[in-house]
Amino acid sequence: MTAKTFGLVKAGGKACQEFDLASLPREVTDWDMETYLALTCAGVTPEQARAVRTPPAAHPRQEYVLAVHWHPEQVPLDLIRERLEAMYPNARDQLIIPTQHNQIMTWDGYAGVEVDCYSHGFNRKVQLLVHLKAERVEQAGVLGNMLRHTFKYRSSQLFEYLDALCAPAWEERRQKAARAAGSDEEVVEFTAIHAARLREMLSANEMRTPEDAVKNKLVRNYLDCLREFYDDRLINKVQVYAKAVKEVVKENFSMAYFYRASEVIEEARSLGAGVVIPHPEQFWPILLRNYDVDGIEVWNPQSQQYTEFLISVVLDQNRRGYHKDRPLLIFMGDDCHMSEKLKKPEEQDRDKAAREVGLQPAWDDLGIAKGLIVAGVSRKTVMDEYRARLG
C-alpha cells in the first residue's frame, strides 16, 4: 500500500499539508485495515514489550509503592511487573491494585475496578474506584453483572462518537464542535471521511475486535496514524476538532443506563470492598454528597490545583469526627494508562506518557509533605490502614 491510496506522494517521509478532499477514498483501504487490526490487536510486539519493560527512569529512594488508580489496558501484567521492579528497585512494601474501566482485574491477592456511575443528586456521571480481596471476586456475581452492563453501555459511546463525526443526521453536533474548536470546513470534512471508514471497519469486525479496544481513544489513535501521510499541523487540527466533537457527545450521553453511585457503593460494601473517589477537580459534587467511602484522591496528574486544600478538608473532617468508624484516607492517583507506552514516541501524548504506576510526586513535595507529616499521613500509613479495611 502506497501513499497514492490517499492521493498523496510522500516527501522525505512526510506529505505536505496540501490535499484534495475529492481525491480521498471513501472506501476502506488496505492500509486502513492493517492499521485497524494493529490498533485493536490484543497482544504486543517484541519492540513494544521492550518499551514496557524499560522505564525512562528509576526511583531508588521510593521505598513504598502505593498504586490504586491505574489502567493496564491491553498490556500484559507480567510486563508491567517487570517495569515496576526496574522503577522501584528498593521498594520495601507495595500495595498495587489495577483499576481497569468497568472490568475487574487482580494483582497479588487484590482486585480493583474503576466504575462509571451516576450521581443522581447532581445529575452527572462520576467514577468510583473499588478495591477488594481477590478471593471475594467469586462472590461478586451482582457487581460483575453491573460492570458488564456498564462496560457495554460505556462502549456504545464510541459508535455515537463516530456517528457524530460523519453521519448526516449529526450535522448540528459537528457544527457546534467546529465552532468551539475554531475548525474550518476542510478539517471537518477530512475528519468525517476517515471517521466513516473507521466506523465501517468497526462494524465489519465487531465480533473479532477485543471488547477492551472499543473505546473513544480508538478514534484518536487511528487519526494519529495518518501522520504517516499528512503534515503534523493538519492532524493536530483534526485532533483538536475530534476532541471537541467527543466533548459534545459526552455532554449529550444519557445517564439513564448507568447505575447510581449509591448502588455501586452498596454492592461494593456487601463484598467488604473499599471505595475511593478519584478525579477530585472533575467530581466536586460527589465530595459534597457524603457517600460511604474510604477516601478521596487529593492529587492526580489531571487534578493538582486543589491538593493542599483537599488535604486540609480531609484532615479537618477527621478531627471533627465526621467519619467515626472509617476516617477518610488520603490517596493520590497516578492514573497511568499503560497503552500509551505502546505507541511510538512521536505519537504519544506527552502528559499521559509521563504517568507511571505508583509515581505520585505530590507525596514528596515539600509544601504538601509538611502538612501530611504533622497529621501522621504517608504512603505507608495509608497502605497499612487500607489493607486492614480490605481484610
Residue 1, pLDDT score: 34
Mean pLDDT of 107-120: 94
130: exposed, middle or buried (Cβ count in 10 Å: 0-12, 13-18, 19+)? buried
Query: What's the CA gap between 188 and 176, in Å, rounded?
Result: 11
| Higher per-residue confidence, 239 vs 282 | 239
Residue 305, pLDDT score: 81
pLDDT at 121 over 80: no
pLDDT band at 283 (very low <50, low <70, confident <90, very high): low
Query: What's the CA gap between 297 and 67, in Å, rounded?
Result: 11
Residue 296, pLDDT score: 92
Q: Give the E-state strand segments of the chain in sequence order.
A: 64-67, 70-71, 93-96, 105-107, 110-119, 124-133, 274-277, 295-299, 329-332, 336-337
Three cell numbers, residue 209: 475486535
Residue 212, pLDDT score: 82
The least confident of 107-121, 146-160, 200-214, 285-299 is 285-299
* Phi-psi sector, 13: left (phi>0), alpha (psi -120 to 50), beta: left
The answer to whether 143 touches 183, Cβ cutoff 8 Å, is no
pLDDT band at 288 (very low <50, low <70, confident <90, very high): low
How many of the other CB atoms lie within 10 Å of CB of 43? 9
Query: What's the CA gap between 391 and 331, in Å, rounded?
Result: 18
pLDDT band at 72 (very low <50, low <70, confident <90, very high): very high
Mean pLDDT of the chain: 90
Mean pLDDT of 164-178: 96
pLDDT band at 8 (very low <50, low <70, confident <90, very high): very low
For residue 217, the one-letter residue type is K
The answer to whether 91 touches 64, Cβ cutoff 8 Å, is yes
Tens-place pLDDT, residues 44-67: 889 999 999 999 999 999 999 999
| DSSP 8-state code for residue 120 | G
Query: What's the CA gap between 172 and 141, in Å, rounded?
Result: 42
> Helices (H) and strands (E) in the chain — how many of each?
14, 10
Residue 62, pLDDT score: 97
| Higher per-residue confidence, 78 vs 283 | 78
Tens-place pLDDT, residues 327-354: 999 999 999 999 999 988 888 888 999 9
